[in-house]
C-alpha cells in the first residue's frame, strides 16, 4: 500500500508540474498590443519577424453632444489592431492621445468646447519623434504613423521626413496618409451609394463619423441624443446629420480603411530601405 501511495504521489506531482507548465505557456498573451507584452516577449516577436510597428495617433476633442470625446483614440486603436491582425507581422504601439486641437487662449477650433485637449505643434512633433526613435531603437524596421485626425497630417509627414532623412538604414518611418484619406472621399462615396445624402455625411460628427464609431464601439455614441437633434442645429459641434448612422454603414467604412491601409503598408514595407 505504501508503494502505491508513493506512485500516486509521484503521478500527482508530475501532473501538477505539467499543468503549471501549460498554464505558464497559456499566460503568454496572443496580442498585438505592445503595452500588453513584456520586453522579452516583444524582443522575441521582433526576432520572429514582427518588424513593423503601427503608431496610432488619435486626439481628445468634441464630436457633438452625441459622441464621446475619445472618439479618435478609440477608433485609431481599433483600426490599428485590425490592420495589424491582417498584416500578420505587426505590433500596435499605445495611442498618442495628446495632439494639436487649436489655440487654448483664446480658444479656437474644437477648443471652444469643454473636454477638448490641445498641445502645441512643436510639443506634439517632439513626442512623435521621440516615440518613433524609441521604436526604431527597440528593433523595428518600419514605424508607421496612423493619424485619425486631419488637423495634424502635415506634422506626421514632417516628422517622418525629418527622421527618414537622418535615420539608420535599418529603420524607416512612414506617415501613412492613405489611412486618413480612405475615411474621407472614398467612404463618402460608399455612404452615398447606400442612400445617405451628402448633407447627412457631413465633415464632423455626421453619418460618416458616427457610423464608424458605432461599428468600432457603440458605447461611445448616444444615439438617443442624435435622434433628438433637429436638422440645421448650429453651434453644437456637428457638421452633418447623424440620425441615420448605423453600425452596418460604419463597418463598410472600417473594412475599406483597413483594406487600403494594409495594401499601402505592404507596398511601403516591401520597398528597399
The 3 state secondary structure assigned to 79-112 is HHHHHHHHHCCEEECCCECCECCCCECCECHHHH
The answer to whether residues 5 and 107 belong to one domain is: no
- The pLDDT tens digits of the residues spanning 160-183 come to 999 987 666 789 999 999 999 999
Does the pLDDT of residue 24 top 50, yes or no? no
Beta bridge mates, 117: none
The answer to whether residues 10 and 72 belong to one domain is: no
The answer to whether residues 58 and 143 belong to one domain is: yes
The answer to whether residues 114 and 241 belong to one domain is: yes
- The pLDDT tens digits of the residues spanning 53-98 come to 999 999 999 999 999 999 999 999 999 999 999 999 999 999 999 9
The answer to whether residues 8 and 69 belong to one domain is: no
Q: Kind and range of the H or E element at 25? A: helix 2-26
d(CA 12, CA 170): 51
CA distances from 261 to 11, 128, 144, 230 (A): 53, 20, 10, 36
Domain that holds residue 210: 33-270
The answer to whether residues 13 and 54 belong to one domain is: no
Task: For the chain, give the mean pLDDT.
Answer: 92
The answer to whether residues 25 and 68 belong to one domain is: no
The answer to whether residues 13 and 64 belong to one domain is: no
User: Length of the chain, please?
Assistant: 273
CATH number for the domain harbouring residue 256:
3.40.50.10310
Percent of the chain predicted with pLDDT > 70: 88
d(CA 9, CA 4): 8
The confidence score (pLDDT) of residue 92 equals 98
The answer to whether residues 24 and 81 belong to one domain is: no
Question: What letter does residue 230 receive in the DSSP assignment?
Answer: P
Contact present, 99 and 151 (Cβ < 8 Å): yes
Answering whether pTM is above 0.85, one says yes
d(CA 85, CA 48): 16
Split into its structural domains, the chain has a count of 2
Instruction: Read off the pLDDT band of 156 (50, 70, 90).
Output: very high
The answer to whether residues 15 and 120 belong to one domain is: no
Detail the DSSP E strand segments found in 93-175.
142-147, 172-175
The confidence score (pLDDT) of residue 272 equals 87
Please name which of 183, 164, 182 lies closest in space to residue 263, comparing C-alpha atoms. Answer: 182
The answer to whether residues 181 and 264 belong to one domain is: yes
The answer to whether residues 21 and 93 belong to one domain is: no
Evaluate the CA torsion angle 18, 20, 21, 27 in order and state its sign.
positive
Amino acid at each position: 500500500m505504501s508503494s502505491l501511495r508513493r506512485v500516486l504521489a509521484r503521478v500527482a506531482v508530475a501532473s501538477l508540474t505539467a499543468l503549471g507548465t501549460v498554464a505558464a505557456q497559456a499566460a503568454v498573451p496572443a496580442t498585438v498590443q505592445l503595452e500588453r507584452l513584456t520586453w522579452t516577449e516583444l524582443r522575441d516577436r521582433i526576432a520572429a519577424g514582427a518588424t513593423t510597428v503601427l503608431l496610432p495617433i488619435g486626439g481628445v476633442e468634441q464630436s457633438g453632444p452625441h459622441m464621446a470625446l475619445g472618439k479618435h483614440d478609440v477608433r485609431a486603436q481599433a483600426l490599428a489592431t485590425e490592420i495589424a491582425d491582417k498584416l500578420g507581422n505587426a505590433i500596435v504601439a499605445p495611442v498618442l492621445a495628446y495632439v494639436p486641437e487649436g489655440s487654448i487662449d483664446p480658444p479656437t477650433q474644437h477648443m471652444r468646447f469643454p473636454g477638448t485637449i490641445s498641445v502645441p505643434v512643436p510639443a506634439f512633433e517632439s513626442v512623435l519623434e521621440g516615440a518613433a526613435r524609441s521604436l526604431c531603437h527597440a528593433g523595428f524596421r518600419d514605424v508607421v504613423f496612423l493619424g485619425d485626425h486631419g488637423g495634424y497630417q502635415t506634422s506626421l509627414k514632417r516628422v517622418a521626413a525629418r527622421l527618414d532623412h537622418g535615420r539608420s538604414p535599418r529603420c524607416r518611418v512612414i506617415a501613412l496618409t492613405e489611412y486618413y484619406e480612405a475615411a474621407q472621399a472614398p467612404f463618402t462615396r460608399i455612404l452615398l451609394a447606400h442612400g445617405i445624402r451628402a448633407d447627412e455625411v457631413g465633415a464632423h460628427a455626421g453619418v460618416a463619423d458616427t457610423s464608424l464609431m458605432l461599428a468600432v464601439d457603440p458605447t461611445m455614441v448616444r444615439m438617443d441624443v442624435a435622434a433628438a437633434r433637429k436638422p440645421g442645429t448650429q453651434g453644437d459641434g456637428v457638421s452633418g446629420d447623424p440620425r441615420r448612422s448605423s453600425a452596418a454603414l460604419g463597418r463598410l467604412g472600417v473594412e475599406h480603411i483597413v483594406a487600403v491601409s494594409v495594401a499601402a503598408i505592404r507596398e511601403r514595407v516591401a520597398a528597399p530601405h
